[in-house]
Amino acid sequence: MPDAAPNTAYVLDMPARRTSCVVFASPHSGRIYPDTLLQRSVLNRNMIRSSEDAYVDQLYASVAEFGAPLLAAAMPRAYLDLNRSSDELDPALIQGARRHGHNPRVSSGLGVIPRVVANGRAIYSGKLTMDEARLRIDRYWRPYHGRLKSLLTESRDMFGQAILIDCHSMPHEAVAMAGGPHSARPEIVLGDRFGAAASGVIVDQIEAAFADAGLHVARNTPFAGAYVTQTYGRPTRHQHAIQIEIDRSLYMDEDTIQPNGNFETLRDLLRQVTAQIASIGSDPMSLAAE
């Protein structure tokens, strides 16, 4: 049966004039839950949202003020994961999907069409057809990545470089045990695939932007970046990709998935951070140092 989902694959907030080579993108903050998904899922609305990077697009809502675009997914991660390859199909969920070697993400239920949400909770009681999977990919995955590619190409054409900031949030428990007994627990984790996805000079500047705002930053642990940073991070081609994870407890109640009392404070703080990051991409001397 065709999925009666909306036709909107993404929301794009473009600046009046692009003055930065930086592109901000939020692939997991989509919150349009199709009725067909909610009807077929064994989870209630709150549980199915547990893997969503809730409100991340709103935290970065000021990006266009600083001459950079913000691309945000419309559909939720539980429906389609834009941080996966389109061929990462899970045979345990998709009828007719074939296993191609060992892929730990797919094996754990986190393929492009997720089988589970946070804490391994199953979304469905049965399988989906291959036609359903392909429809989701064609309608939402391809338009999102097509637009992301064009934004990065435009940045390279206009500025000679492109910097992708891949915006995410992480469960507090993911960093609760991080940091040694004598170091602060990270509130921000930057992922550059251990240097493979971005110039160290640029990552240093991004880390400094968060540190200047008083936030504790770690790199690549516990999150080094996934499909997006691996695919779009090409430093030798003057294209850099950095994943940014924000501790959800800083701005929301993870049980109710509602903003907490610190939401506006963090949003204002990130306005300062994004202004500094966007300026990296508009400073020729900064880019020349790379």
Asked if 80 and 137 count as a contact pair (C-beta separation under 8 A), the reply is: yes
User: How confident is the model over 202-261, as pLDDT tens digits?
Assistant: 999 999 999 999 999 999 999 999 999 999 999 999 999 999 999 999 999 999 999 999
Q: Which band of pLDDT confidence, cut at 50, 70 and 90, is reported for residue 152?
A: very high
281 — pLDDT class (breaks 50, 70, 90): confident
Element (H, E) at 155: helix 142-159
For 124-255, where are the E strands, in sequence order?
162-170, 188-191, 217-219, 239-247, 252-253
Exposure of 214 by Cβ count < 10 A (0-12 exposed, 13-18 middle, 19+ buried)?
Answer: exposed
Q: In Å, how far are 173, 233, 288 from 228, measured between CA atoms?
A: 23, 8, 25
Task: Render pLDDT for 171-209 as a digit per residue (tens, 0 to 9).
Answer: 998 887 665 555 678 999 999 999 999 999 999 999 999
Q: How sure is the predictor about 8, in pLDDT bands with cuts at 50, 70 and 90?
A: confident
- Gap between the terminal Cα atoms of the chain: 51
Among residues 179, 220, 217, 216, the alpha carbon closest in space to that of 198 is found at 220
CA Rg, the chain, in Å?
19
Hey, what domains does the chain have and what are their CATH numbers? 10-82+140-288 (3.40.630.40)
Instruction: Output the pTM of the full model.
Output: 0.93
